[in-house]
């Protein structure tokens, strides 16, 4: 018996020369090989038509807003006359609100830097890739770690009187532990039970950002004192 092969390995990108090919797929290749026969549609028209419509709707909405509301223009800049309160643009008011509680190096440098670094490293920590619910395994251990961390954070927040962060933190923690005590697997509680840790942390972060920014925009007046938006918005 001869050991002659009835095939030959050959590399070529010319389909006329080598009509059949073998693909070697490593575990880390593109996501598209995960599901082999996902339903595909033609880009033209299916996607492009939606892009055009979305863009046009956006232009129309922006034009309507621009016809209705004028961009603010106050008096010419005057370094001698500080407005009270002096506010940064809205997307920085969360930070400015932090500045009210913490020393500038914490509020203006350390916390924003940490937030950006935390966002960057999300995909590189296996824990953030987990899709299992928080309480799937090591339930008791998870509970004690969670309560310890929240406890420490709460003490710090209490120390600096940051109720604007303390209250949302405690509320979210409460939602986190509900599925620990309740055995329900359906409805809202069941759904909460399926949320992974990364989901909770991101949701906490977004809630804090939104709460602080809203307070900064609507609830702060002269000397950064608490004011009600129905009295005056500064």
Partner 1 sequence: MKKAFEKLFRSQVWRSMFRHGLPLSNRTRAEAVFYNFFLHVHPTKVRKRSVKFTYTWGLGGLSLGLFIILVFTGGLLMLYYRPSVAQAYWDMKDLQFVVSNGRFLRNMHRWAAHAMVAIVFLHMMRVFYTGSYRPPKEFNWVIGVFLLVTTILLSYTGYLLPWDQLSFWGISVGTNMVKAVPFGLGDTISYLLLGGTMVGENALVRFYVLHCFIIPVAAVVLMAIHFWRVRKDGGV
- CB closer to partner 1 out of 88 and 152: 88
CB of 187 to partner 1, least distance (A): 20
If one asks whether residue 188 binds partner 1 (CB under 8 A), the answer comes out as no
CB of 208 to partner 1, least distance (A): 14
Nearest to 145 by CA among 185, 173, 178: 173
Position 191 contacts partner 1 (CB under 8 A): no
**Bridge partner list, 226:** 220
Write down the least CB distance from residue 154 to partner 1, Å: 25
Q: State how far the alpha carbon of 8 is from the alpha carbons of 2, 4, 18, 20, 21, in Å.
A: 16, 10, 10, 11, 11
- Give the footprint of partner 1 on residues 34-93 (CB under 8 A): 38-48, 50-51, 54-55, 58-59, 62-63, 65-67, 69-79, 81-83, 86-92
Distance of CA 157 to the CA centre of its chain: 22
Q: Applying CB under 8 A, which part among 116-124, 135-143, 165-173, 214-222 lies near partner 1?
A: 116-124
Which of 172, 170, 166, 179 shows the shortest CA–CA distance to 199?
172
Nearer to partner 1, 54 or 233 (CB): 54
Kindly indicate which of the ranges 139-147, 157-165, 179-187, 198-206 contains the residues binding partner 1, using the contact rule CB under 8 A. Answer: 198-206
Helix (H, G, I), strand (E, B) or coil at 26: coil
Give 204's contacts (C-beta < 8 A, 6+ positions apart): 168, 169, 172
Contact 189, 178 (CB under 8 A): yes
21 touching partner 1, by CB under 8 A: no
């Amino acid at each position: 018996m001869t050991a002659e092969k009835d095939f030959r390995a050959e590399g070529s990108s010319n389909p006329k020369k080598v009509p059949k090919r073998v693909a070697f797929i490593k575990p880390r290749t593109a996501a598209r090989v995960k599901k082999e026969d996902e339903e595909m549609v033609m880009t033209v028209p299916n996607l492009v038509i939606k892009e055009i419509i979305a863009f046009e709707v956006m232009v129309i909405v922006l034009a309507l807003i621009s016809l209705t509301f004028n961009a603010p223009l106050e008096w010419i800049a005057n370094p001698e006359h500080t407005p009270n309160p002096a506010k940064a643009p809205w997307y920085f008011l969360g930070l400015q609100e932090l500045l009210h509680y913490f020393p500038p190096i914490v509020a203006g440098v350390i916390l924003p830097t940490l937030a950006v670094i935390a966002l960057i490293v999300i995909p590189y920590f296996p824990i953030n890739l987990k899709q299992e619910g928080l309480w799937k395994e090591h339930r008791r251990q998870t509970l004690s770690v969670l309560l310890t961390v929240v406890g420490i954070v709460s003490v710090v927040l209490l120390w600096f009187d940051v109720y604007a962060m303390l209250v949302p933190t405690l509320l979210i923690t409460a939602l986190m532990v509900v599925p620990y005590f309740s055995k329900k697997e359906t409805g809202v509680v069941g759904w909460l039970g399926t949320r992974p840790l990364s989901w909770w942390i991101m949701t906490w972060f977004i809630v804090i950002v939104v709460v602080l920014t809203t307070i900064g925009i609507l609830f702060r007046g002269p000397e950064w004192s608490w004011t009600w938006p129905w009295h005056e918005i500064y």
